[in-house]
Structures are given as structure tokens and as C-alpha cells.
Structure 1
Amino acid sequence: MGFGILEDKSDLAHVPGTVLLAEKISQPGDVLAQLKHGSGADAQIVLVPQPSEDPNDPLNWPYWKKLSIVAILVYGSCLCAATVGPLLNASIAVLAMDFKTSFKDITLMSGYQLLAAGCSGPIVSALARKYGKRPVFLASSLFAVIGSIMGSASHSYNTLLAARIVQGFSISAYESIIFSVIPDLFFLHQRGLFTAIVSFTLSAVSNLSSVVAGAVTNNLGWHYLFHLLIVTVGLQLILLYLFVPETTYHRDRLYEVDLASTDNLQELAEAEARHDPRTQKAIQDLKIEKTVTNTSSVPPPKKTFIQELAIFTGTHSDESLIQLVFAPVLCCLNLGVLWVVVVSGTVTSFYVGMAYVAAQIFSFPPYNLTAAGVGYLSLGPFLGGALASIVLGLTNDPLIIWFTKRNKGIFEPEIRLLPIIFSSVGGVGLILYGVLAQRGDNLYLVDFMWGLMLFGAVFIFTSASAYAIDAYRDMSSELFIASMMLKNFLFYAYSYFMNDWAASAGPAQVFEVFGGVYFALALTTIPLYIFGKRYRSFWHRHNLLEMLHVRTHSAF
């Protein structure tokens, strides 16, 4: 393998995650010619995983249907994850005066909400794995509606706190499970764009929501934040029920070429050829020792629109719920998974920490901003995150195809980590944000540094997420739940000490410490990139989860 990724030295025939993705045009008799390929400009791209013959396989759904599902789920993520969490950030000073309490007490409302999100994560993961993603998303949106109704009717600190906690139960699915929908719907060479879109939603949009929330609080009052959420989340819940069917699908493992540890392309090609009218007659006498469930019988009929409205589609795992609840934590026994969890979760927590102290810094001299003014400051990180997401969305998938073609058509998930090279600017922005804010420097320059921080952070968060999906797809649901848990527990911890720390030591010290940790975490990408393939091989041969009899994929 070129590009600095060390080859596996074991006798493993095929390292899971490494796949033949691009090839030169095959001859009709070649094994690869029998496999399904992309179309148009992607005609030389082997589809990974290979779609089954079942019309109900999400990989076979029309592209417009996939896009509509993603759009509705991203809309839900905008509301339940990117808006519900930072909803009150720009209004902290107003709420502190209304309830005659401290900044810390108001920040704790968000802290307890995020604690609820973190604690519910393992349950959300277990239910999604056991009963599918659709009922989990529906329940999450319902919690957001109920919590918003409670918030709109609250007139005391305790009732508003209760509303925020109920809203917290809507967050985890839209921060984590949504990532595992991407490999349900899209092939490997298409995932980078949609990973960038979800990352953009969770990072940049969360800042845009503060801009809107600050203006609403300033002009209409903070109750209207909840009034508006009732309407918008209610609409999303309806769209979710009508147009987002279950995406969990149990494809025969023969098709999952990226998860295999053996080279079974010949066997898969024979199975594919059985459905090719041009070759069916020629292979009637072939004796295939191992057949594919969906290829040995007539594919089932396509589900109707009414059938797809079913909330529950059966049991998708034979594991006990208790075992599935512990799976996200146990997944961290894998060092690659642990890296993604720690790096993405911690870096994400840093820009939320910046938002926690924004009202405290900018509501008083020398800035003297109103709630709306504090909210408008979030335009900086929104634009920084949006720009990074656009760059990654446009270049991520073309980049991996370019590298793959220069690696004899072999794709390595570690290639997804290359954009982290550009993340160092985020650490610079993080440090200078604190220094300039403490000195009372130009407001626009401080805001630029906030945007620069998020620009760099998106390169880390998006690249790590794309790597996780490609390298450890069978653990993706649990992995993103674990990451969500870590960052929400960090958010909760920050709510206890961030405001006091910034008040006593000054924002410069706070963000210098954060910046140092940021750079240290970014540097850990180097050994993962170099040794990642060897570790994937080692994990497959010494899988601690299998030793503990814990499965993170269906055994059906």
C-alpha cells in the first residue's frame, strides 16, 4: 500500500474495510465484470457493498427516495440536535434576570438536558439495533414536541428545567443513529458527501440556531423559542412518519464485501451471474457450494407505501437488550473506535464550551451586547463550519476515488483521514479566541477566530466520522452513540465549571488549555493513519467483543 499506510503482515486473506473499489474496464468473462458497478462517471466503480436482488433493499431504492429520507432526517437533526441543545445559549443573560439566578444555574439547564441525552444513548442504541431505527427516530421527535410544549407553558426555573430534560431525550438519535443511516442507503463511494452534510448540521447549524434564537428572544421573548419548535418539530414528525421507512436491512453477508475477511469475489460473481439473463443458461450446470439466501429464491415483492408506514418491522437482532445496552461502551475496547469517540467527541465539546461563555463575555463591557447581539456572533462559526463542510462535501468522495485509482483500485479507509491535515487552523482559532476576548479586542476579529476554530474542527469531525463508517461499519451505530455520550457528558461537566473558570482565570487560560488538547488530539491521527490497516487486521483476528459474546451486527 502506498501513501504511508503500512500493509498487513498477517496471513489474513482480506482485511475487513479494505475493498476493491475502482478497476479498469473488465472483459465480459472477468470476475469483476459480473459485479454491479456505478453508472455514468462512476462506471468503473465497484459498488460496495453489493446490493441484493431484493427491491426492498435500501441500496436498491431510487435515488430521489434516498435523498428525501436524508432530507427529513437532517431536518430532524437541525431541530432535535442542532437547535434543542443550544436553544438558550444566546438568552442566558435574559433568563438569569427573569429567574433572578446566576449564569451557572441557567447553563445547568442545558447541562442536565445533555446529561439526559448522554444517559439515554445506550438505550437508544439498543432499541435501534433490536427494533430498527424508524421507531427510535419517531420517539425522539415526539419527545422534542412534548418537551417544547412544556417549555412554552413554563413560568418557573424548575418547570423550564423539566422541559429541557424531556427535550434531552430527543437528541441522541439525531446526533448518532443518523450517521448509521448513511451506509444503509449509500454505497462507499457516495458516503463522504452525506457524512459532510450531517456533520454540517451538527456543527454549523447549531450556531445558526443561536442567531435565530437570540433575535427571537430579543423581539418576542424566550417563550416563542418553544412555540416555534412545537410547529417545526410537529411538521417533521409528520414527514418522518409518512416518508421515512425502516432502513435497517439484513443483506446476506456474501454481499458485504467490505466486512469480509476472505476474498469471495468469485462466489459473489457466480451468484450475481445467476440473475443475469445473458449468462443464466451458461451457468445452469455450475455447482455453487454456498448459495445466497436472496439469490436462491424469487425476490420478495416490493413493499407498498402502506406497508412501509409500519412503525415496527420485526426484531432485527437476537441479542438481549441488556447486552445491546452495554455494546456502545464495549466497542471502545477497539482502539480505532476509541480514537474516533475521543477525538470527535472532545473536539466537538470545545466549540460548545465557547458558546457556554459567549453571553458571559459579550453581554458586559467592553462589548455590552444584547441577547440578539450575542446570537449574531454565532454567524462566525456558522460560516466557518459551512465553508469547511462545503469543501469536504465537494472533495471527500472524489479524493478517495483519486487515491484509490492510484493504489491499483484498492480502497483503504485511512484515506478518509487525510483532510485532517487542514484541521490545525482550528487550534489556532481556539487559542486566539480566548486571548482576544480577554483583551477586549475587535469584536469581528474575535468572531472570526470562533469561525476559524469551527472550520478546523469540522475537518476532524467529518473525516473521523467517514473513517468510522468505512473502517468499522458493523459497529457504526454503537460507535456514534459512544461518541455522543462522551461529548454530552463533557457538555454536562462544562456547565458546572466553565462559567466560573472563565470568570476567575479569564477566557485566555480556558481556551489556551483547550487549544493545547486540540493539537494533541489532532496529532494522534498520524499513528492511526500509518498503522490503521494493521490494527484492523489485528482486531479481526483478536476481536474482544466476540470473546465477550457481544455482537454489533445482526446474526440473522
Structure 2
Amino acid sequence: MGWGVLEDPRSPRAPGTVLLDDIGKLPDADSPETANLKRDGHIILQPQPSDSVNDPLNWSPKRKTGIIFLLIVSLVTIGGTSAMLGTGGRKLAEQYHVDYPAVVRALSPPSIATNAVALFLASAIAAVYGKRVQMVVAIVALWFTMLAGYFANSLGYYTGLQVSGGLFHAPFELLLAPLITDMIYVHQRGRLMALSAIVGVAGGDASHVIAGNIVAKLGIKYTYIVSFGVLVPLVVLIYFFAWETTFPRPIVQQNTSDSFATAADVELKKPQVTMIERVETEQWSGIGPDRTRDYAADRKLTFREQLVVFRGRVTDRNFFKAFMQPFPLMVFPSVLFSTIINGAFMTWMIVSGIISHQVLLYPPYNLKPDVLAYVGLPGSVVGLLSAVGAGLLSDWVIRFMAHRNNGVYEPEFRLVLMAPAILFSTIGFLSMGPAYAEHAKVVRLIGNGLVFHIAGPFANSACITYIFDTMQNTSTEAMVATSLFKHIFAFFATTYVPGWFKHVGPIKCFRTLAILNICFSVMTIPMYVYGKRMRGMIGRNEFLTKHSLVR
């Protein structure tokens, strides 16, 4: 038992368990069967890169960083276009003679529902046709959506714009994390995964600063014209630099019986030899399903070849099966746990922002849109800093724990980051209710709300990396399943919480949310302790294993 994670006696190497640090290996672990594993110092690279110059894992750090930075900026910007109407909620309510909760119901739930369905479509398209084509088409479609927004003349028109935004926002929301796994090794993913989970929300908060001033000085329609101009450079940059990262990488398969025997095991039994074989995947039919392919002989793709938008089918997967695959993954323990926890914590951040606007736009505060715009800015800054901190801590924690676990990494080590997430979120709920009830100063309300922006990235980093480390073969599909639950939570929250908050008051509202938060969060304890045994059970079950593999 390493660090409280119970061993599975029937599957010592459960799916997701990898040798990350060779410091604890037996002397014979450097045998010819294992010596060919590629390393970065004493860190064994997971996943193992191929010998191809076109393998995204072999791209230069400069290229990887550039692509990830471009997509993060794009997601922040697109998240901003989706949330920019938040500061104009009262103006829309007065213009179309409805109350504020009605505006929220008209704008948020339809967008969330459309986005949830679009995630399944984006996942299937990525599985069959690759990722690049979606990003290029989506950014161009969003560009034209912003132009159409200038002509909005009814609340229903704004609903249609939000639906269109939710549809074309989906590829960027879904594909950033899989793109990171295509290019980045396990021991380096934490900081980037945390950012990928938070940048969309941060973009929405940051956009309020710009949108609020535009709404106050020019009007709501002009937010779309400004967004149209902002998206122009992103359209160009994504076309030229957001390259395809889908690659038919060979897989290193290991015997699961005694894969990680260490010096401590010598007196107990003689370790079996771990057989390593390189299996060529048959995913990229455009290149060819040759299982004897010499990756080292690959010709480097030219810049012009990288710019091809539509490559036809890049895999031999069935589109309908790819569309449906996220559904069976929802019963997998790691996916189910992460969907609930990630969905809950992201919902807390959304609810915090909605209630903040609902309170501050009306008496006794009566904040104008240009003033309200700055209320969310501290949360954006704190959220991004917290995401970076959570990511750095996550990567350090897993290396530290693996190093002291005979080099063996268990995905459950990622769940340690749930501790600060639970602490800060609970503090937030217990402090926000009384603050709203007492009509506290705006500064206090903002300060209390910051704890949700601290808690969220820690929970997101723990959950997202846990999914990608336990579901490596179907990480994109698992991400869709997670996002679906997140959108279901957000749908009900945006539909009912504003009216519920108005009816029951802040004390009862936030006390109830605090209880729900604790109930969700305590699931972390059994997941951490028994997670490896659950993974081992899945690895032994033929039906579940079949649905955890790319088909």
C-alpha cells in the first residue's frame, strides 16, 4: 500500500499505474526488455514517444508552448464572448420588460444545453477527422456570429446568438486538454491541465471589464462588434499555427502481473521479467495501418502540409460509435467521480458570479455595468494564479509521492489536491451567506467570493488529470462525459438558483450549497483509498475493458 492507496492483489499494475521514477528499480530492471524505455533523467517518459520527427511528443518545447498558449488565449477570448452579456443583464431586463432571472433563463440554459450536445459531436469529429479542422471551422463560425450580434433586436435573437456561441465554443472547450495530452508527458501535465480547466471561466470574468464599459457607454450591440474585431487575429493565428496533433503513436505494453517489483520484493519472491513490446496502432489510416512501420524514417512534414485543414478520415473509427462512446464511460469509477466533483466545483464558481450580479445590479447597491465589470476581475486574476499554483503543486506532488513509492505512480496521488479545494470552498459558502444577508460592503463580497476562485482550480486540476491518467486510451471521450455532467449542473443552477436565491434568501441558499459541497467532496476519501482496486477490476473485466479502448 503506497501512501494509503490500497493495492489490488489480483492486478498489481492496474490501468493507469506506471513506473514514473526509476530510482526504486531492481538491478535487473535495466535488462534489454526495459532498457529501451525513454527517460528524462531518472523520470521515465509516459507516454513513450515514437521515433518519428512528426510525433507531437517530439516537437520542440517552443512549438508546444506556442500552440498551447494560442489555444489558451483563444479559449479565454471565446469564453469572454459567451459571458459578455452578464453585465448587461439589467438593461436587457428593462428593455424587454422581464425580471433578471428571466434574462438568465433566456441566455444561459439554451447555450449550456447546446454546448453539451456539441461536445459529443466535437469528440466524434476529432476521433474520425482530427482536431485541426474543428478549431479552424469553429473560430470562423464564431467570427461571423459576432458580426450577426450587432443586428440583435429581441431577447430571442440574443438567445440564438448564445446558442450559436455554445455550439462553436465546444471544440475549444473540449480539445484543449486532449491536445495537451498529445504533446505533454504525464509528469508535466498538471500545471497545464489546471489552466485548461479554468481559462474559460477566467475569460468570462475578464470579459466583463471590457463588456461592462462598452455596454455603459455604447450599448449592448457594440460588444459584438468589438468581439468581431478581436477574433480577427485569432482566426489568422489558428489557421497558421494550430496544427494537427493526432498521431498513430506506438504503444508500450507491459505484463501486468509483477510489473513493478522492487528491491523490497526480492526476499518474498523472484520477480517475473516484464516483457515490453511496441505495438503499432492502427488509428491513422491516412498514413497507413502498417504495423511494421519504421517511425525513424518518417519524412518531416513541411509547413505547407501542416496547414491542410481537412485531411479526410484520419482514423478508421466508426463515427456513430465514436459519438456514443462517452456514455458507457460514465459508469467508470474515475470518470464518474471526476464528473461529479469537477461539475460541482465549476458550478460553484458560476453560481457565485450569477448571484453576485443579481445582488449588485439592484438596491441597495445599484452598480452600473461599467462598475460591475470590475467586480469579477480580482476573481479572474486569483483564479489564474491559483490554477498555476495548483498545476505546479500537482506535478511536484506526484513526483514526490512516486519517488517515495519505489518509483511507482498511482493516479490517485492527484487527488491530494482536493484537500485545499474542500477547505476553501467550505469557507466560501459559510461566509458568503451572512455577507449577503447583512448587505456587506462590496469589497467584502468580492473578498469572500475569491475563495471559490482559489478552490476551483485545485479541484479541476485533481479531477481532470485523474481522468487523463486513468483513461489514456479514451481521454477525449472521458472528457466529454465529464463536461456533460458539468453542463447538467450548470444548466439547473442557471435555471433555478437565481429564483431560488430570491425566494429563500442568502443564508438558507448558501448553507444548503455548503452541505451539498461537503457531501460531494467526501467522495474523495474512498476514491483515493480504493481507486486502484476499482481500476484493477475494470482491467480484468472484458466488457469494461472493451469500452475503455478506442474502437
Task: Give the TM-score normalised by structure 2.
Answer: 0.89
Structure 2: how far apart are the matches of 1:270 and 1:315?
22
After superposition, where does 1:92-111 map in structure 2 within 5 Å? 92-107=89-104, 108-111=106-109
Unpaired segments ≥5 residues, structure 1: 272-290
TM-superposed CA distance for 1:503, in Å, is 1.5
Question: 2:412–2:532: 8 Å Cα contact kept in structure 1?
Answer: yes
Corresponding residue SS for 2:209: helix
Q: 1:213 to 1:508 in 2, by over 3 A?
A: farther
Corresponding residue SS for 2:297: coil
Structure 1: how far apart are the matches of 2:60 and 2:487?
36
Question: 1:208–1:379: 8 Å Cα contact kept in structure 2?
Answer: yes
Question: 2:72–2:199: 8 Å Cα contact kept in structure 1?
Answer: yes
Pick which of 394-403 and 519-528 moved more: 394-403
Q: 1:140 to 1:127 in 2, by over 3 A?
A: same
Identity, % of aligned positions: 24
Corresponding residue SS for 2:164: helix
Q: 1:123 to 1:546 in 2, by over 3 A?
A: same
Q: 1:374 to 1:230 in 2, by over 3 A?
A: same
In structure 1, which of residues 392, 395, 398 is the aligned counterpart of residue 396 of structure 2? 398
Which residue type is aligned with residue 122 of structure 1? F
In structure 1, which of residues 30, 34, 56 is the aligned counterpart of residue 36 of structure 2? 34
Q: What is residue 460 of structure 2 aligned with on the other side?
A: 461
Which residue type is aligned with residue 206 of structure 2? L
Which residue type is aligned with residue 438 of structure 2? R
1:496-520 Cα deviation digits (max 9, x unpaired)? 3222212111133222222211111
1:477-497 Cα deviation digits (max 9, x unpaired)? 112212222222333323332
Structure 2: how far apart are the matches of 1:267 and 1:481?
32
Q: What is residue 285 of structure 1 aligned with on the other side?
A: none
TM-superposed CA distance for 1:262, in Å, is 8.3
Structure 2 residue 531 is matched with structure 1 residue 532? yes
Question: 2:538–2:544: 8 Å Cα contact kept in structure 1?
Answer: no
Structure 2: how far apart are the matches of 1:233 and 1:435?
41
1:519-553 Cα deviation digits (max 9, x unpaired)? 11111111111111111111111154456xx4652
After superposition, where does 1:56-455 map in structure 2 within 5 Å? 56-80=54-78, 82-107=79-104, 108-254=106-252, 263=259, 266-268=275-277, 293-295=292-294, 299-423=297-421, 424-455=423-454
Structure 2: how far apart are the matches of 1:306 and 1:260?
43
Question: 1:433–1:511: 8 Å Cα contact kept in structure 2?
Answer: yes
Structure 1: how far apart are the matches of 2:274 and 2:315?
27
Question: 1:90–1:374: 8 Å Cα contact kept in structure 2?
Answer: yes
Q: What is residue 267 of structure 2 aligned with on the other side?
A: none
Corresponding residue SS for 2:44: coil
Corresponding residue SS for 2:325: helix
Q: 1:352 to 1:29 in 2, by over 3 A?
A: closer
TM-superposed CA distance for 1:176, in Å, is 2.1
Which residue type is aligned with residue 220 of structure 1? L
Question: 2:53–2:296: 8 Å Cα contact kept in structure 1?
Answer: no
Alignment RMSD:
2.5
Q: 1:270 to 1:445 in 2, by over 3 A?
A: closer
Pick which of 380-389 and 53-62 moved more: 380-389
Q: 1:25 to 1:3 in 2, by over 3 A?
A: closer
Q: What is residue 16 of structure 1 aligned with on the other side?
A: 15
1:34-78 Cα deviation digits (max 9, x unpaired)? 32111xxxx111111111111111111111111111011111211
Q: 1:439 to 1:245 in 2, by over 3 A?
A: same
Question: 1:120–1:169: 8 Å Cα contact kept in structure 2?
Answer: yes
Which residue type is aligned with residue 162 of structure 1? G
Q: 1:521 to 1:270 in 2, by over 3 A?
A: closer
Q: What is residue 283 of structure 2 aligned with on the other side?
A: none
1:251-275 Cα deviation digits (max 9, x unpaired)? 1223x66x9788596535999xxxx
Task: Give the TM-score normalised by structure 1.
Answer: 0.88
Corresponding residue SS for 1:377: coil
